[in-house]
Amino acid sequence: MKEITAGYALCGSFCTISDSLSALRNLAATGMNIIPIMSPIVYNTDTRFTEHLSLQKRVKEITGNDIIHTVEGAEPIGPRKLLDVLIVAPCTGNTIGKLANGITDTSVTMAVKAHLRNQKPVLLAVATNDALSASARNIGQLMNLKNVYFVPFSQDNAISKPTSMIADFNKIPEALEAALEGRQIQPILN
Ligand SMILES: Cc1cc2nc3c(=O)[nH]c(=O)nc-3n(C[C@H](O)[C@H](O)[C@H](O)COP(=O)(O)O)c2cc1C
C-alpha cells in the first residue's frame, strides 16, 4: 500500500463523514500518498454534523495534501495520471446518479471521469436514503461498469428507513486491496 497514490473523495452524506475520516486516518497510517477531494457542498457547507473550515483543516492534516474541490482542480487527474485508485467515501445518491448518467459537474464527478479514462479502479462507499428506491437503478448500472467497485453495504435501518443503505467504512482497506487487483470483494451485500 505504501507506494500507492490514492484519491479520497468526500461527498455530502454529512452524517457519515466522521466514519469516513476514521477510514481516511487508517489509510494514511499505512504511508500511502492520499490526494483529498471534496464535492462543493462538503467543501463549503456547515451542517449539524460538520463545520466546513474545520473539516478542511482536518483532512489537510491527515493527508498532508491540498484538497481538490473544483472541476478544474480535478481535471489533471486524467492527463497527468495522478492516481492509482480513487475512493469515493461517502458517495451520495446525487453523485451516484451523475456517475451512472455521465454527468460531470463537480470536483468528484470530474475526478471519477478523469480517473476512469486511465482505466484504473474506482471504489464507491455508498450512503444514501434512496439506495433501494430512486438510486437503485443507478447503483445497478454502476455495478455493471468496468473498473468500478463497491465497499460492501447494507440496510442501516430497515424499519424506519426502509430504502436506505450504507457502506461499511471499516471494510475500505480490504475493498481497496481487492479493487487494486481488479476484484470486487464479496459479499458485496453485508
Ligand atoms: C445534513 C445533510 C445530510 C445529508 N445526508 C445525505 C446522505 O447521507 N446521503 C445522500 O445521498 N445525501 C445526503 N444529503 C444530501 C446531499 O448532501 C445533496 O444531495 C448534495 O447535493 C450532494 O452533493 P454531492 O453528491 O456533490 O456531494 C444530505 C444533506 C444534508 C444537508
Query: How far does the centroid of ligand 1 lie from the alpha carbon of residue 65, in Å?
Result: 24
3-state helix, strand, coil in the chain (%, to 5): 40, 20, 40
Q: How many CB atoms lie within 10 A of CB 41?
A: 16
How big is the CA angle at 148 (ends 42 and 104), to the nearest 5 degrees? 45
Query: How far does the centroid of ligand 1 lie from the alpha carbon of residue 181, in Å?
Result: 31
Provide the pLDDT for residue 190.
Answer: 81
Ligand 1 atom closest to the CA of 40, numbered from 1: 26
Q: Whose CA is nearest to atom 16 of ligand 1?
A: 12
Ligand 1 atom closest to the CA of 96, numbered from 1: 25
* pTM exceeds 0.95: yes
Reported as a pLDDT band with limits 50, 70 and 90, residue 128 is very high
Residue 2: pLDDT over 80: no
**Model confidence pLDDT, tens digit, residues 29-80:** 999 999 999 999 999 999 999 999 999 999 999 999 999 999 999 999 999 9
Best residue among 10, 38, 49, 92 to mutate for probing ligand 1's pocket (most ligand atoms within 8 Å of CB) is 92
End-to-end CA distance of the chain: 25
- Residues touching ligand 1 (Cβ under 6 Å) are 11-16, 39, 41-42, 47, 49, 92-95, 106, 108, 127-128
Structural domain 5-180, CATH architecture: 3-Layer(aba) Sandwich (3.40)
Total H helices, total E strands in the chain: 8, 7
**Model confidence pLDDT, tens digit, residues 109-124:** 999 999 999 999 999 9
Q: Reduced to 3 states, what is the DSSP secondary structure of residue 136? A: helix
Query: How far does the centroid of ligand 1 lie from the alpha carbon of residue 82, in Å?
Result: 27
Query: How far does the centroid of ligand 1 lie from the alpha carbon of residue 3, in Å?
Result: 33
Query: How far does the centroid of ligand 1 lie from the alpha carbon of residue 41, in Å?
Result: 8
Domain ranges of the chain: 5-180
